[in-house]
Amino acid sequence: MASKLSHFSLDISKLNFVLQVLRHYKFPEARWFDFGLNLGLPYHTLKAIESANKGDPSNCLMECLAKWLTEGSDHTLVWQTLANALRGMNALAVSNNIHKTMADPVSEILQFYIGRLAQVVLTEESVDLLHTEGLISKDTLTEVKSCGCSLVGDPMLLILSAVAEDHSKLCTLTSILMKSKEAMSLASDIIMEYRKSFPSAVTVMPSCQQASTSTSSRSGQLQDSSSETQVTTNTDATAQNAYEIFMKYKKSEKNIQG
């Protein structure tokens, strides 16, 4: 059983992210007015938006969402709120995708770290592993490499979808992140947040040890004049192992600096 989860809340700072999600799932922008009504926005507010943005449904949608995200600041807005509004206007495909992917509790854990993930530059080897382990498609693999090996936009949404569909993919992702020195702290934070939300993580995700059978171990070494410490990670590692690897790395780094 999971402990009480902290849902990924939506506010005005998430405006661009919400727009990306709606466009990713092919929300028909021309229906922005109905969407606004189902979100609970007043009719006169929507008419004012329409008047100020004649013939521009894309901007109308953005202004509609901005109003909703701003006026909803006195209570918690979550993905399920959005999914319910979409269902109310019979946009079932978009509603179901948001409910299934964005409102998934493990996907929401990863969403808390999207900003930090976007700043990580992966190696081409790590990007290849994302494809090999089923986190991104072949087409997305090419897109990520062409964008400097960063996880932004649709590639990140595809990873969220993969994690929502198979929670063991969160373990796979963190193990891949562990291959990059700059992402080790981030991977550790994701693991610890998962543990906090799901205390029985070992039994909840028993397939973590089997999630990545195609990847061999990769070792990294830190050296000084008197000692050599080896840090080994692979995508067969469980979340527990990944965290222990990170702590050993931090200890060895501290010894070297001292």
Q: What does the radius of gyration of the chain's CA atoms come to, in whole angstroms?
A: 21
Whether the predicted pLDDT of 151 surpasses 60: yes
Q: For residue 110, what are its two tokens?
A: 């990863």
Whether the predicted pLDDT of 34 surpasses 90: yes
Stated pTM of the model: 0.77
Condensed to tens digits (0 to 9), the pLDDT of residues 229-243 reads 333 334 444 445 555
Helix H segments across 28-147?
32-38, 43-52, 57-71, 79-88, 92-97, 105-111, 114-118, 124-132, 138-146
User: How far apart are the C-alpha atoms of 161 and 103, rounded to whole Å?
Assistant: 10
More confident residue, 7 or 49: 49
> Do 136 and 186 contact (CB within 8 A), yes or no?
no
Average pLDDT of the residues in 14-36: 97
Listed in sequence order, the residues at least 6 apart from 221 whose beta carbon sits closer than 8 Å to its beta carbon are 228, 229, 230, 231
Comparing 69-73, 135-139, 213-217, which segment has the lowest mean pLDDT? 213-217
Question: Quick one: pLDDT band at residue 144, thresholds 50, 70, 90?
Answer: very high
User: How far apart are the C-alpha atoms of 213 and 210, rounded to whole Å?
Assistant: 6
Q: What are 218's strand-pairing partners?
A: 233
Q: Which domains does the chain have, with CATH numbers?
A: 12-103 (1.10.533.10), 106-257 (no CATH)
